[in-house]
Structure 1
Amino acid sequence: MFEIIPSIYIINGKCIRLKRGDFTTEKVISHNPLEIAQKFENSGLERLHLVDLDGARRGEPKNYHILNIIAGYTNLKIDYTGGLYTDGDVIKVFENGAKTITASTAAVKSPEKFAQWLMSYGREKINMAADTDPKDYKIKIAGWQKNTNIDLFDQVQYFYDRGLKYLKCSDITRDGVLEGPNLSLYEEMVKRFPDLHVVASGGVRNIADLRRLRDLGLRGAVIGSAFYEGKIKLEDLKEFVITV
Structure 2
Amino acid sequence: MKIIPAIDVISGKAVRLTKGDYNQKKEYSDSPLEVAQRFEQAGITHLHLVDLDGAKAQKPQNLEVLEVISSKTRLRVDFGGGVKSGESLEAVLKAGAQQVTAGSIAAKDPEMVFSWLKHYGAEKVILGADVVDEKIAISGWQEDSGLDLFPFLEQYLAKGVTYCICTDVSKDGMLQGPSIELYKKIIKEFPQLKLIASGGVAELNDLYELREAGLYGAIVGKAYYEGRISLDELAAFNK
TM-score (normalizing by structure 2): 0.97
Question: In the alignment, what sits opposite 2:209?
Answer: 212
1:190 partnered with 2:198: no
The residue identity in structure 1 corresponding to 2:11 is N
Q: How does 1:25-174 map to 2 (within 5 A)?
A: 25-30=24-29, 32-134=31-133, 137-174=134-171
Q: 1:3 touches 1:240 (CA, 8 Å); kept in 2?
A: no
The residue identity in structure 1 corresponding to 2:109 is S
Work out the CA distance in 2 between the residues paired with 1:133 and 1:148. Answer: 10
Query: 3-state DSSP class of the match of 1:178?
Result: coil
In the alignment, structure 1 segments of 5+ residues that lack a partner are: none
Q: 2:44 touches 2:235 (CA, 8 Å); kept in 1?
A: no
Work out the CA distance in 2 between the residues paired with 1:218 and 1:82. Answer: 23
The residue identity in structure 2 corresponding to 1:63 is N
Q: Residues 145 and 11 (structure 1 numbering): CA distance in 2 closer, same or farther, change over 3 Å?
A: farther
Question: In the alignment, what sits opposite 1:228?
Answer: 225
Q: What's the offset of the Cα at 1:215? A: 0.4
- Deviation track 1:178-217 (CA, whole Å, cap 9, x = no partner) reads 0000111101010110000000000001111000000011
Q: What's the offset of the Cα at 1:168? A: 0.2
Q: 2:8 touches 2:16 (CA, 8 Å); kept in 1?
A: yes
Q: 1:16 touches 1:30 (CA, 8 Å); kept in 2?
A: no
Work out the CA distance in 2 between the residues paired with 1:91 and 1:111. Answer: 18
Q: 2:70 touches 2:77 (CA, 8 Å); kept in 1?
A: yes
TM-score (normalizing by structure 1): 0.95
Work out the number of aligned pairs and report it: 239
CA-based RMSD: 1.0
Identity %: 43
Q: 1:81 touches 1:102 (CA, 8 Å); kept in 2?
A: yes
Query: 3-state DSSP class of the match of 1:30?
Result: coil
